[in-house]
A and B are shown apart, each in its own frame.
Chain A
Amino acid sequence: MSQSRSARTRRLPIPDAILEAASRSAVALSSFVEEPVSMTPRSVSEWPTTRLPYLLGRPDTRVLGVYLGFEGDLDGHIVLLLRRNRARHLVMQILGNPTEEDENMVNSALGEVGNITVSSFLSALADRRQLDLRPTPPIVVDDLAGAILDAIVADVVGDLDSIMTIEVDLNWGGMRGGGTLLIIPRPSAETNMFHVLGNGP
């Protein structure tokens, strides 16, 4: 028997590939919103799968998840989790404080922001390692963090105890936000995440 709070996270060095990918994501986002956006990886951690619901703080917090699968030289999943209220606030700034009737537009813009962030990140990693990685269309989900992730963990992680998480800070027109990025390749001897990123601890 184990309990979710007993497992601990472990901080890891931030690989150069992550810094570069975040920088390229920021350029793509800046181009989309036509304003300067910075994206800074704050930390990289090994996160115990038993504690997935706690990724963004309280375990029953609703988050916004942007999911893409990827195929090619590697296959797996990439997910960006954003704190819902902050993400909405950021997007509403772009849209100029839309009315309630514009809810669909807000959701659509949130999806696009997430899609650009995640796709650019994946593309930068692929370029660095000269890998052919083809993303699937994005899916935006508004749900509990653990609920978004457990099917991915079940599909990919199997008996592994932890996954790698990247905490990112977003700074956008004076507004600050943050999120958590998870890149989860299907495990094999070739697809250790630090191997993919090019420099390990």
Chain B
Amino acid sequence: MIASVLAVGLGAAQLSRDPDAELVAFSLGSCVAICVWDPTGPIAAMAHVVLPDAPDHHPAGGKYGNQAVPYLVDLLRRAGGHPWRAQWKLAGGANVLRGTKLPPIGERNVQAIRAAMRAQGLTISAEETGGTVGRTIRLRVRDGVIQLRLAGGREHCL
């Protein structure tokens, strides 16, 4: 049973060791949730990435794809986890406002995260990115299950 719901807001990153908690990124469009789960503990962490690359000297955090990966690695290590043993999954990066002049931020976010993971020697164990529909992402700390709920109401696990 989920006793605690920890909302991970735009640009934020959060970690939990509470097996009765879940981390949630609500209504992602072009944003991407990086979900990390280490079965030892268990420990779960999530970053809600908004943009691909941080400007120079920007403080570390979850907002930028290139910073969020090393930031999560650091969070996990400090909590006693092992980033290279953990499962890393991505969800989000949709193009909801298709047909506009907006740049394809979602796609760029995903590319930046993939590059940052390669640089850290990490692999993605599952991914659901792109498309044209918003998603809410829930990561259960107890077993690392990720539940995706699409804007139309359809739900499935990643």
Contacts and interface: CB of A to CB of B under 8 A. Distances in A.
Nearest to B98: A139
B103 to A, nearest CB: 6
Interface string B45-59: 000001100010010
B6 to A, nearest CB: 7
A147 B135 contact: yes
A152 B97 contact: yes
Interface in A129-169: 136, 139, 141-155, 158-159
B26 A144 contact: yes
Interface stretch (B7-15, B36-44, B81-89, B116-124): B7-15
A153 B50 contact: yes
B102 A147 contact: no
Contact of A146 (B27, B58, B101, B103): B27
Interface in A104-145: 136, 139, 141-145
A188 interface: no
B11 to A, nearest CB: 7
A115 to B, nearest CB: 14
Interface in A72-103: none
B46 to A, nearest CB: 11
A137 to B, nearest CB: 8
Nearest to B28: A147
Nearest to A50: B9
Contact of A155 (B94, B96, B102, B135): B102
Contact of B29 (A4, A5, A136, A147): A147
A1 B134 contact: no
A36 interface: no
Contact of A51 (B9, B97, B98, B106): B9
Contacts of B62: 1
A150 B10 contact: yes
Interface of A: 1-5, 7, 49-54, 59-60, 62, 67, 69, 136, 139, 141-155, 158-159
Given A1-B14, A62-B152, 16 more contacts: A3-B6, A3-B12, A4-B10, A4-B12, A59-B136, A139-B100, A141-B97, A142-B151, A143-B151, A144-B134, A144-B151, A146-B27, A148-B29, A150-B10, A154-B51, A159-B55
5 contacts: A144-B26, A144-B27, A148-B96, A154-B105, A159-B58
